A and B are shown apart, each in its own frame.
Chain A
């Protein structure tokens, strides 16, 4: 922003021909240097994080005798047993189940909130509802976890069979956590819809509901889905709140209210208790690597959706 504004002024000085090394060139150089420095630093940071996780996470496969097939398809996780087993399928299942459940709960809520804020009552929406929902994003995850443990888990324990902990409790807690992401993206998408489209629809005699359901939602669907996928990615990576309410039994549960585990919950649970370099510790890094790869996939899906927006 700054650069584009100062350029005309700088050009004017250059035309005057004052100084051998014009000021605007120095500014240009400084600006470029600063941006390049930041970008390089960013690339170095990202690269070192990926390298660090990958180098630790690949050790169990490379030199400690764990097979990739066992890690991805094995059902038994017993890292401290006399013959350690590293089957992470229950955690993959748990991560997907909780994040998808969270999205199923949060997507209708978030998208409806966005429609309300943009199409129905923009003033109330912008002044009251939006700040309230954005507030949810600022609540620390340990607070969500504690609320989940104190309110949702006892409630589920009383209503359903089981101990209350499990995928359902995790999904509910996560749905509240990802609501701001989904709502914000959906609101931006709906706001950016050209007013002419809607006016045309109204001019043809369509009611507001007809306009929303047949025009607004279908046109913005790829953007809405982008929000949902971003929400799922956030839910996939959330650790602390889920760990407090999911129960952390390393098994695929038979019901939504039976103790289960996610990739993140197992990592936070055991990382501090294991010594770095031990097989157990490296296996946890492998889980982190799986998480990282999943996040890459989510980013990829978002890119695909964005491309569809441009084509539409």
Chain B
């Protein structure tokens, strides 16, 4: 009995593995077909997949469903996995679109710099990040210098930045996280270290829960995750709102990128065009808490240089 069960499990495992392998192949094959045979002008068809940033995933997911309703012959698979995984997979050709919170040049460095050059950037939305704190810290505004002091451990009590006499608890993101990179680049202006006693969580929902429940906690979240269980802190006196981001007065924001290897064709191109159309930018982007790229009155390049449009 036990033996036959073992055999059965082995078989099931083998089959599922084989199925996985097959799936990958058919994906690739069908994409090749899509990019070479589908005429760009007429109705598009084919199957392709997008993977990467979990921050961008809800938007791509929702847009892909709408797109598939309009184009019955197109199948789009949207997966998470993280910005790094998205960029690796698109440059290896495992997926056709790699979603990322950061510029590919920031992740694919040194030996991999060549890979970044082969990727074409499509900026589909802007995400802004706000410093958030527990509601009872007695502070609602922090300057850049104060934030740096807090996240480097120089200041460990809220009374030193004008709040209550309470220990500061850092709720950080992993060093590799795109959200952390954005926060460090544009709010702190420097890299921060992981301090003893700090909490590190990857999921925005977990960060929000910990910040709302832990006395004296401070963290940072994308604007779409803000709610009334936590307090969004002003940065240099500026409220973190979509309007302030669009006008360029609130600096802590980053583009959400969808990378393709080389110029997109066929169904992939049609989908990326759809992502940038008013149909998505005007409704879904705003509904899900992102800021449409077209609303931005400023632009920013890889080096972080901001210019007025």
Asked if A79 and B197 make an inter-chain contact with CB atoms under 8 angstroms apart, the answer reads no
Interface membership of B88, Cβ < 8 A = yes
Q: Does A259 contact B (CB under 8 A)?
A: yes
Contact between A35 and B193, CB atoms less than 8 A apart: no
Residues from chain A with a CB closer than 8 A to the CB of B178 are 273
Is there an interface contact between A248 and B197, defined as CB atoms closer than 8 Å? Answer: no
B163 at the binding interface (Cβ < 8 Å): no
Interface centre among A78, A80, A154 (most CB of B within 10 A): A80
Bitwise, B160-196 to A at CB < 8 A (1) or not (0) is: 0000000001000011111000000000000101111
Given the interface pairs A249-B196, A253-B196, A277-B112, the reply to whether A45 lies near B17 with Cβ below 8 Å is: yes
Q: Are B197 and A258 in contact (CB under 8 A)?
A: yes
Contact bitstring A1-38, B, C-beta under 8 A = 1, else 0: 11000000000000000000000000000000011001
- From B199-207, B229-237, B245-253, the one touching the partner chain is B199-207
Contact (A154, B7) CB under 8 Å given A273-B82, A274-B176, A276-B88: no
Smallest distance from the beta carbon of A211 to chain B beta carbons, Å? 31
A94-102, A194-202, A264-272: which one contacts chain B?
Answer: A264-272
**If A270-B174, A278-B84 touch, does A38 touch B14 (CB 8 Å cutoff)?**
yes
- Contact residue among A249, A254, A277 (Cβ-Cβ distance under 8 Å from B199): A249
Contact flag A35-B7 (CB < 8 Å), given A81-B193, A248-B200: yes
- Supposing A79-B176, A82-B191, A277-B112 touch, asked if A272 and B10 sit within 8 A by C-beta, the answer is no
Known: A79-B176, A273-B178. A278 touches B112 (CB 8 A): yes
Asked whether, in the complex, the Cβ of A275 is within 8 Å of the Cβ of B107, the reply is yes
Measured CB to CB, the nearest residue on chain A to B181 is A80
In the complex the two chains form, what is the Cα distance from A250 to B197 in whole Å? Answer: 9
B24 beta carbon closer than 8 Å to chain A: no
Q: Is B213 an interface residue (CB 8 A)?
A: yes
Taking a contact as CB atoms closer than 8 A, the residue among B4, B7, B174, B214 that contacts A157 in the complex is B214
Q: How far is the CB of B222 from chain A (nearest CB, A)?
A: 15
Whether, in the assembled complex, A164 has its beta carbon less than 8 Å from a beta carbon of chain B, the answer is yes
Q: How far is the CA of A250 from the CA of B199 in the complex (A)?
A: 10
Other-chain residue from B4, B169, B198, B206 in contact with A244 (beta carbon distance below 8 A): B206
Q: Does B209 contact A (CB under 8 A)?
A: yes
Which residue of A has the minimal Cβ distance to B54?
A: A272
Q: Is the CB of B11 within 8 A of A164?
A: no
The smallest beta-carbon distance between A6 and chain B, in angstroms, is 14
A244 to B198, CA, bound (A): 14
| Proximity bits, B66-107, A CB within 8 Å = 1, else 0 | 000000000000001111110110001000000000000001
B118 close to A (CB within 8 Å): no
**B-contacting residues, A271-289, CB 8 Å:** 271-278, 280-281
Q: Which chain B positions have C-beta within 8 A of A297?
A: none
Set of chain B residues within 8 Å of A132, measured between Cβ atoms: none
- Using A1-B3, A42-B10 as known contacts, say yes or no to A269 and B199 having CB atoms under 8 A apart: no
The answer to whether A269 touches B202 (Cβ under 8 A) is: yes
| CB of A219 within 8 Å of the partner chain | no
Are A281 and B199 in contact (CB-based, < 8 A)? no
Q: Are B84 and A273 in contact (CB under 8 A)?
A: yes
How near does chain A come to B263, taking the closest CB pair, in angstroms?
Answer: 22
What is the CA–CA distance of A238 and B85 in the complex, to the nearest angstrom? 22
In the complex, A35→B83 CA distance in Å? 42
Given contacts A247-B200, A275-B107, contact A78 B176 (CB under 8 A): no
Q: Using Cβ atoms and an 8 Å threshold, which residues of chain A touch B3? A: 1
Complex contact B85–A251 (CB within 8 A)? no
Contacts of A157 in B (CB 8 A): 213-214
Closest beta carbon of chain B to A246's beta carbon, Å: 9
**A81–B191 contact, CB under 8 A?**
yes
* Contact, CB under 8 Å: B175 / A270: yes
Rounded to whole angstroms, the CA-CA distance of A268 and B80 in the bound complex is 13
Contacts of A273 in B (CB 8 A): 82-85, 174, 176-178, 202
Query: Does B1 belong to the interface (CB within 8 Å)?
Result: yes
Measured between beta carbons, the chain B residues less than 8 angstroms from A35 are: 7
Closest chain-A Cβ to B135's Cβ sits at a distance in Å of 16
Q: Among the interface residues A34, A164, A249, A254, which one has the most CB atoms of the partner chain B within 10 A?
A: A249
Q: Chain B nearest CB: distance from A297 CB in Å?
A: 24
User: CB within 8 A of A80: which of B81, B108, B175, B217?
Assistant: B175
A275 touches B108 (CB 8 A): yes
Q: Which 7 A-B pairs have the closest CB atoms?
A: A272-B82, A273-B176, A248-B200, A80-B175, A251-B196, A276-B88, A274-B84
Can you name 20 A-B residue pairings with CB atoms under 8 Å? Answer: A1-B3, A34-B7, A38-B11, A41-B10, A78-B193, A80-B176, A81-B191, A163-B199, A244-B201, A249-B200, A258-B197, A269-B200, A270-B174, A270-B176, A271-B82, A274-B82, A274-B84, A275-B88, A277-B112, A281-B84
Other A-B contacts than A81-B191, A163-B217, 19 sampled, CB-CB below 8 A, are A1-B3, A2-B4, A35-B7, A41-B10, A45-B17, A79-B176, A149-B206, A248-B201, A251-B194, A259-B199, A269-B174, A272-B82, A272-B84, A274-B84, A274-B85, A276-B85, A276-B88, A280-B176, A281-B84
Which B residues are within 8 Å of any A CB, using their own CB?
1, 3-4, 7, 10-11, 13-14, 17, 54, 80-85, 87-88, 92, 107-109, 111-112, 169, 174-178, 191, 193-202, 206, 209-210, 213-214, 217
